[in-house]
Structure 1
Amino acid sequence: MATDPAAAAVKPSSNRLLRLAPYTMPDSDSPVFLCLHYWAGSGRAFAALAEQLAPDYRLLAPDLGGFGTAPAPGGGYTLAAYADAIAAYITAQHLRSYVLVGHSMGGKVALLLAARQPPGLRGVALLSPSPPTPEPMTDQDRAASLRAWGQRTEAEKLQQKITARHLPAATRLKIVEDNLRTSRAAWDAWLLHGSRENIAAQLCTIQVPCTILAGDLDRVMSPTVHGLETLPLLPEGTPLEIIAGAGHLLPYEAPAEVATLLRAFAQRL
């Protein structure tokens, strides 16, 4: 792991939100890690990370509307609606001190919510985040992704593309299953709208410490994208940490390294 010097509204009660906190309660001063998952994924992607952080830190990982077990979001499949849902979830969980951890699509949602300066927010950790600017994707790739919904063969191909490290068969199956249970509406909305939305102008209001974690073998969102599109919009001094040999799915591929970096980040807050 190294710092890249060059890059220098859904009601929670109806959301069936996933909680990953079956551990000894941490110190009351420790922030809760509130994790937002990647597109075509679910909150269970953070299970190994939760184990790595326990018992010192509590981790919560809700399914976003239309993904995992969560129903369609009442406010629509927009970034604003997802941010509204997470804000409501924070209130329902009575969180007083927390760090937003946003992975890929979840990173963009986390940035939008952080820009609102919600009470209790201590910091933002972005794992291979979708940039606040329109995501770099060709029209050809977007069209292919739209056609891939609900197809197991395509889900298996995507799993191979977005991971670089060897994963157990059970983990690979979990990634494919989450892909296949994503609703069509949520799938299309991100590709056609959310990934294209530009929230860059709103990030000037983020006042909490931030950090970016990225795999050097990420074929979806390279560290260069983070350095050019996201890092300049975050508070001065925000680091870009590179995890060697990892692809796009850091919570699955590198839970130990991610946990080490998150612990260090939390201790600096």
Structure 2
Amino acid sequence: MSARSTDVVAQLRSAGCVFAEDEARLLIAAAAETGTPLEVLIAQRVSGTPLEHLLGWAEFHGLRVMVAPGVFVPRQRTTFLVDEAADLIRSRTGHPVVVDLCCGSGALGLALMTILRDESRQVTLAAADIDPVAVDCARRNLTPLGAPVYEGDLFEALPVDLRGCIDILLCNTPYVPSAGIAQMPPEARDHEPRTALDGGSDGLDIFRRVADAAASWLAPGGHLLIETSEAQGPAAISVLAERGLAGRVVQSDDYFATVVIGTRD
């Protein structure tokens, strides 16, 4: 390790960066690629700016997903949701229609579409988000794949011809209870939009709104997949049952992830 790298690592470690060596390597490379002075990047990182916002990308499911300041950074645990969606599609025939709702950067749709295309499966993907900054970011990730990204509030953003036709509905809604936002790491609390984090009093407010309309947008046998905390799973299943969807909870110990799946008859 060079003296320069050692100095960067020391600065990052003193600021509490757990993976200081890896971050130093990435920041040094970003400075060389973008022309941004390394000292500027280090100062921003030390002040709490998410590493991904400084790099302009996040690693997700083996892909580089473009992200921008003010956009939710995809979490590694959410790769479990993508894998569950891929398994469900493999069990179906035909040409599936997938929607990534509350898409943020579009990471979930991008990862799922990449998996399926690598398996030579044809898929139609659309995405939507209420945040114009996120929509712009998602378009940068998804337009090269031919996937449209719509701006608007949940299903209101989608074209009506998708109603009753969605085979897989990915929906990474915010699920942190409002009272828990203050306890989140500063990287998320101070740099990601609150609308992407705050799920209301019990963390399930946006999920309920999705569940209210999901059955009318899903194709027969279609699935809604949504990430929750382990503790929220039983309440989420009750929400789905009240709205005519058969629900089940799947969990991953490897990813510390919980996904609730609702299926239309």
Q: Shorter-chain TM-score: which interval? A: 0.3 to 0.5
Which structure carries more helix by proportion? 2
Q: TM-score, normalised by structure 1?
A: 0.38
Which structure carries more strand by proportion? 2
Q: TM-score, normalised by structure 2?
A: 0.38
In terms of Rg, which structure is larger? 2
Greater relative contact order (CA < 8 Å, ≥ 6 in sequence)? 1
